[in-house]
Amino acid sequence: MKMERQVMRVKELNLGLQLIATLLVLCFCYTHAVAEEKSQQTKKTFIVHMDMSKMAATYEDHFQWYDSSLKSVSESADMLYAYNNIIHGFSTRLTPEEAELLEKQPGILSVLPEMIYKLHTTHSPEFLGLGKSDAVPPASASISEVIVGVLDTGVWPEIKSFDDTGLGPIPSTWKGTCEVGKNFNSSSCNRKLIGAQYFSKGYEAALGPIDETMESKSPRDDDGHGTHTATTAAGSAVSGASLFGYALGTARGMAAQARVAAYKVCWLGGCFSSDILAAMEKAVADGVNVISMSIGGGISDYNRDTVAIGAFRAVAQGILVSCSAGNGGPSAGSLTNVAPWITTVGAGTLDRDFPAYVSLGNGKNYSGISLYSGKPLSDSLLPLVYAGNVSNSTSGNLCMTGTLVPSQVAGKIVICDRGLNSRVQKGMVVRDSGGLGMILANTELYGEELVADAHLLPTSTVGQRTADAIKNYAFSDPKPTATIASGGTKLGVEPSPVLAAFSSRGPNLVTPEVLKPDLIAPGVNILAGWTGAVGPTGLTSDKRHVSFNIISGTSMSCPHVSGLAALIKAAHQDWSPAAIKSALMTTAYATYKNGQNILDVATGQPSTPFDFGAGHVNPVAALDPGLVYDASVDDYINFFCALNYSASDIKQIANKDFTCDSSKKYSLGDLNYPSFSVSLQTASGKEGGAGVKSTVKYTRTLTNVGAPATYKLSMTSKTPSVKILVEPESLSFAKEYEKKTYTVTFTATSMPSGTNGFAHLEWSDGKHVVGSPIAFSWT
């Protein structure tokens, strides 16, 4: 018995020890799993920029060096992309601690956190003067040799805008591919859409695998934005194009004979900088001539801005990069994509409108805008209510989902205030609550800006003044009534263009001495190609399918300029990106025929160069600008020196070893830019100080791209507190590509901080007018 009890105790002890061991193992596994999960949760994507000149000879190639550097801080991390064109380096997922450790290693220029960018969501050729047969050079083989690379949400290849009829063989300079993926075959490309690829590794690393029931893991466009921008830039001509009969006519891109290469970098969760950089790298290697990017994010110093770095490398290889200015207007300083080597495009209107008339029970009639195409309302007046008075919510005036009381809405027209949720969704809320129509009322934030939408019930969007009048009637009349009727398409609207309220404004918060945006182009109610995946509103409940859609944003103005740049590139194949941008800027117009500045729809007042840059694009004049302000990589490097960038900072952007000369005085005012932005100091940096003078001197160099001629100076100024001296006042050019330099000295009386002023400088030979806006700001 005693022996049995001892055996039992030993067994119990062993069982206990086994149980403890098991618990310890489980505890360790759990702790390890939690730690691993926590580690994964804290990991973020970083873009690692490496200095190739520092690679040790022991490595067989740069990929081996990249991998060794990465494994030195994380055994588990993998490279998402390896970059070897736009930059040298890679992107990967690291913890902040690992990233910090990696950045301290030799040969590492920078470790930049991933940024998430967002989309900046045809009558245009006629409005721009391209509809006249004698306005532009006849179609030639040169334009069909130009390739426009579009970084966006992909393409819908089946639409007629990508028809390749009449186009010759694919340019021999093209090195790209047609990538196969879900719902996208190699046959989806042709001689028009010559390439299509997608980039999703950064997106998936951050948000998990793509849900292919929601979006295509391929170049196919499930959103519509990419198809719209690509066809705006370079879509083939399609007769009889319209959206439900609106804007009926021939839709064609700005460079209808150019080729299109699509790079899908934007997904449901946004556009990730590691994917954008990989696409830019591929576009450069593929041989595109223009890169069009209707996307943007925050702003940062150029050596920390992935898009700015990628764009610099593209421009250095002769590729013009056109980007949208952003939709943050009318707020000042709301610009994105402000690097001087990027062409930054704001938005204006066309002379086309889509009126929707509102008739009230008191006999008053008002005009708004709409693209509604369904069954119209009867001519009889219907009861009119304000959403805020028929709601169970404090935000009922906005017609949010579930906020309207159906019994108080049924059979009526509802006034909804604009803001917060989408404009078309408000109409759906009204319709689903039994309403028969909607008046979408602009508030003070939106002013008189009218953006047309393909609403799902009879709707008229009205400006703030009209909205206030309609509300006053609805509030004061015991039984208010109204009806809504469509006015179709109206052309010849004046004044036009006007600056769009949403178009982002200057000043340039990164470098105030560089005026941005560069120019504006049509970006309001633009008809172009559309995806077959969603309806014109983009809402899942919108089951309508269209080949063309009308949408607005600087996303739409950007590809206008991209396509026009392709036309200029075809006409002047040896011009640099800076020369092409200069041609677009110096020939732009900022006034109407009566001499008044382009109006700002947000205020109803004249806009300024901080809003429109050089002005509205004028492509016919841009094809023959006379003179251009050219700039090379060396000019931009001097610009970096003026910013006090270190050799490492410069290497990150320019991929060149360069140390600024400490004995040389570098000036931001000497960057050979087609516009002027002059920062002036108040007395002792304070407001007031009347009578105190400050002097700033800028230098510019003009290159003759026309016949021999003498250009004479003309100066207009709206700022008497600044005296402007230009030396010399005449420039004579004896041959093509001859260069002449001039200086501009600004002597200013001190003004209060925050004061702005404007002037305009022109050189003319009697045929050409080479204009430059001048903006002053006292800080």
Nearest by Cα to 744 from 694, 678, 661: 678
Query: Quick check: 357 and 459 in contact, CB under 8 A?
Result: no
583 Rama class: left (phi>0) / alpha (psi -120 to 50) / beta: alpha
Q: How far is Cα 260 from Cα 457, in angstroms, rounded to an integer?
A: 36
Nearest by Cα to 654 from 662, 665, 645: 645
Contacts of 242 (CB under 8 A, 6+ apart): 248, 249, 527, 548
Q: How far is Cα 542 from Cα 538, in angstroms, rounded to an integer?
A: 7
Residue 572 among the catalytic residues? no
Cβ neighbours, 10 Å, residue 129: 13
Is 25 exposed, middle or buried, given 0-12, 13-18 or 19+ CB atoms closer than 10 A?
exposed
Nearest by Cα to 196 from 236, 143, 150, 256: 150
Contacts of 396 (CB under 8 A, 6+ apart): 387, 388, 390, 403, 404
Residue with tokens 């991209």: 562
Q: How far is Cα 147 from Cα 261, in angstroms, rounded to an integer?
A: 7
Rg (CA), the chain: 30
Contacts of 592 (CB under 8 A, 6+ apart): 495, 598
Q: How far is Cα 446 from Cα 418, in angstroms, rounded to an integer?
A: 8
**DSSP 8-state class, residue 398:** G
Give, in order, the Cα–Cα distances in Å from 676 to each of 635, 745, 759: 16, 12, 9
The catalytic position among 69, 74, 123, 152 is 152
Contacts of 351 (CB under 8 A, 6+ apart): 127, 491, 492, 493, 494, 496, 497
Residue 225 among the catalytic residues? yes
The catalytic position among 555, 607, 694, 772 is 555
The torsion angles phi and psi of 758, rounded to 5 degrees, stand at: -145, 150
Query: Quick check: 593 and 569 in contact, CB under 8 A?
Result: no
Query: Quick check: 118 and 295 in contact, CB under 8 A?
Result: yes
> What b/e string do you get for 96-116 counting C-beta neighbours within 10 Å, with b at 16 or more?
eebbeebbeeeebbbbbebbb
**DSSP 8-state class, residue 404:** B
What's the order of all strands across the beta sheet hosting 270-272?
Answer: 266-267, 270-272, 116-119, 295-296
Nearest by Cα to 759 from 727, 711, 725, 734: 725
Q: Which residues lie across from 152 on neighbouring strands?
A: 264
Nearest by Cα to 588 from 553, 617, 626, 629: 617
The catalytic position among 123, 225, 228, 560 is 225
Residue 32 among the catalytic residues? no
Cβ neighbours, 10 Å, residue 18: 10
State how beta strands 290-293 and 88-94 pair. unpaired
Residue type, 597: N
Nearest by Cα to 383 from 467, 485, 469, 480: 480
> What b/e string do you get for 312-324 counting C-beta neighbours within 10 Å, with b at 16 or more?
bbbbbeebbbbbb
**DSSP 8-state class, residue 589:** B
Residue with tokens 């046959």: 187
Residues acting as catalytic residues: 152, 225, 555
